[in-house]
Amino acid sequence: MRQFVIIGHDAPTTPDFSLDDLAGAAGRLDVLCRCVSAAVFLSHDIREDVRVHLVLGDEYTVTVDSETVRRLNPDERSTAALIRTALEEREEAIGHIPVETSPGISLTRRGFEGTLEDVATAGTVVQLHADGDPAVDATPPTGPVFVLSDHRDFTDEEQDLLDDAADQRLSLGPQPLHANHAITVAHNFLDTDGYRSDE
Amino acid sequence: MRQFVIIGHDAPTTPDFSLDDLAGAAGRLDVLCRCVSAAVFLSHDIREDVRVHLVLGDEYTVTVDSETVRRLNPDERSTAALIRTALEEREEAIGHIPVETSPGISLTRRGFEGTLEDVATAGTVVQLHADGDPAVDATPPTGPVFVLSDHRDFTDEEQDLLDDAADQRLSLGPQPLHANHAITVAHNFLDTDGYRSDE
C-alpha cells in the first residue's frame, strides 16, 4: 500500500465553508483536493491500494481509500464537497474510531500525531527533504508513507514528530514542489522502479 | 524554454460559462486549469521560461508565459477566471496575432495545427506514448515541447499531425497519467537530469 499524509494547517474543521472560495475562506482546501486527485487517479482509472489522509486543522483526519472510494472526481470543487460532507458528520467521530461519511471516505477525530502514529506502524515513513537521498538513485521502500504539508511549512512540533517517525529521507529533485506535485512525482518514482528500456 | 500544448476538446470558446461547473458545463476546463498550475508553479515560486498553450475547441489558443504572468494562482477557479477573461476579448484576436488579455496571458485565434506549427519551429516536439523510450533512461531534449490531450484521446487527425511533428517519443512510466500529472512528471524528468547522489 502507498499512503500519503497531508497536513492542512488552515483547513476547515466545520462544514461551514463555501465551495466558491476554496483557495480563500476555506483555508486553501484547494491544495488538499489536488492532493487527493494526485494520490488516487490514473487516466480513466483509479490506483489500487492507495490511502490519502488529510489532516484538517490538527483536529480531524479525512481518509480516502482508493479501493473503495466512489463518487470521487478529479476536480477540486467536487472533492471539496465530499470533504464537507465528511465534516457534517464530525459529531459522530468519537475517539480514533473512523466514521465512513461516503463510500471509501472516512473521518477520524485525530490530528497529525495520531494519524502519523497509526500509519507509521504499517509502513515505511518517507520524509521528503531537500537534503535527502535523490529518489532517482534510491530503492523504493515497501509500504511507503509520504508526509507532506500544504502551502505552509511544517511547524517545529510537526517537524520533530516527522523526524522521529521517518525511516527514510528522500529528495524528489532540485526544485521545491507543491504538495500535490510531489505526490505525482512520488507515485512516478514508485511506478518506474525497474521500468527501463530493453536495451 | 519548456513548452506544453494541451488540447481541450470540449473546452469553451466563449466566456459564457460558470466558474461553479468547470468539470461539467465548462467542458472539463478543470483539467486545463490544473495543467497550467502543473506547468507554471513551484512551491512559493513560478518556474522560469515555461509556456503553456491551451487549445480551446480547436478554435482559440490561450498561452500563459511564466516569465510575465501575473495574478495567477494555483487553484482551478481563479485560473478559469483568467481564461474566461481571455475569451472575453476573442473578437480582438485576428489571424495569428496574439492579444494579451491579462499580464502574461494571451489569446490567439488558431487551433491545434497552427499552434503546433508555431511551437515546433522553436523546439523539440516530444510525443508521450506508452511505447516510447522510458524517460528514466532518456537524455532530456533541448527546448522540449510536450503535447498532451485533456480527458479525451487525440483524434485521428490530431494524432497524424503529432506523428508528423514529433522529434522524440517518450514514455513517462508504465501507468497512464492525467495530462496535468504528466506535466509534473515531465518537469521532474527535466529537473533531475544530472541530479544524482555524490556517491
Any CB–CB contact under 8 A between A139 and chain B? no
Residue A195 forms part of a structural domain: no
Q: Do A23 and B192 touch (CB under 8 A)?
A: no
Best of A21, A40, A180, A183 to substitute, by most chain B Cβ atoms within 10 angstroms, is A180
CA dihedral of A119, A120, A122, A128, whole degrees rounded to 10: 90
Exposed e or buried b per residue across B103-117, where buried means at least 16 C-beta atoms within 10 angstroms of its C-beta: ebbbbbbbbbeebbe
Any CB–CB contact under 8 A between B34 and chain A? yes
- Please give the Cα distance from B171 to A78 (Å, whole number): 30
* pLDDT band for position A74 (cuts 50, 70, 90): very high
Strand ranges inside chain B, DSSP E: 2-8, 41-42, 45-46, 50-56, 60-65, 99-102, 105-108, 124-134, 144-149, 168-171
Q: Do B191 and A175 touch (CB under 8 A)?
A: yes
- Please give the Cα distance from B148 to A66 (Å, whole number): 25
Alpha helices (runs of H) in chain A, residue ranges in sequence order: 29-40, 76-88, 112-122, 156-165, 179-191
Instruction: Confirm if A153 and A191 have CB atoms less than 8 A apart.
Output: no
Residue B59 forms part of a structural domain: yes
Q: Do B31 and A197 touch (CB under 8 A)?
A: no
The alpha-carbon gap from B169 to the nearest alpha carbon of chain A, in Å, equals: 13
pLDDT at residue A122 is higher than 90:
no
Mean pLDDT of A107-125: 95
Q: Tell me the pTM.
A: 0.97
Query: Quick one: pLDDT at residue A198?
Result: 57
Residue A2 forms part of a structural domain: yes
Reduced to 3 states (helix: H, G, I; strand: E, B; else coil), residue B6 is strand
Structural domain harbouring B103: 1-190
Query: Quick one: pLDDT at residue A94?
Result: 84
pLDDT at residue B89 is higher than 80:
yes
Mean pLDDT lowest for which of A55-69, A88-102, B48-62?
A88-102
Dihedral sign, Cα of residue A35, residue A39, residue A42, residue A44: negative
The alpha-carbon gap from B134 to the nearest alpha carbon of chain A, in Å, equals: 6
| DSSP run (H or E) holding A168 | strand A168-171
Q: Do A191 and B197 touch (CB under 8 A)?
A: no
Reduced to 3 states (helix: H, G, I; strand: E, B; else coil), residue B121 is helix
Any CB–CB contact under 8 A between B74 and chain A? yes
Residue A74 forms part of a structural domain: yes
Which residue has cell 482508493? A66
Mean pLDDT of A24-46: 97
Cell digits of residue A87: 465534516
Residues of chain A found within 8 Å of residue B78, distances taken between Cβ atoms:
23
Cell digits of residue B66: 511564466
Mean pLDDT of A116-137: 91
Cell digits of residue B32: 486545463
Residue B198 forms part of a structural domain: no
Residue A21 forms part of a structural domain: yes
CATH number at residue A140: 3.40.1280.10
Q: Do B174 and A187 touch (CB under 8 A)?
A: no
Looking at the partner chain, which of B134, B151, B195 has a beta carbon nearest the beta carbon of A134?
B195
Q: Do A45 and B134 touch (CB under 8 A)?
A: no
Q: What DSSP letter does each residue of A21-78 carry, written as one string?
A: -TTTTT-SHHHHHHHHHHHHEETTEE-SSEEEEEEETTTEEEEEETTT--S--SSHHH
Domain count, chain A: 1
Residue A152 forms part of a structural domain: yes
Any CB–CB contact under 8 A between A103 and chain B? no
Mean pLDDT of A112-133: 93
pLDDT at residue B8 is higher than 80:
yes
Phi, psi of A158, deg, nearest 5: -60, -40
| Average model confidence (pLDDT) across chain A | 95
| Average model confidence (pLDDT) across chain B | 95
Mean pLDDT lowest for which of A137-146, B15-24, B190-199?
B190-199
Residue B30 forms part of a structural domain: yes
Residues of chain B found within 8 Å of residue A45, distances taken between Cβ atoms:
176
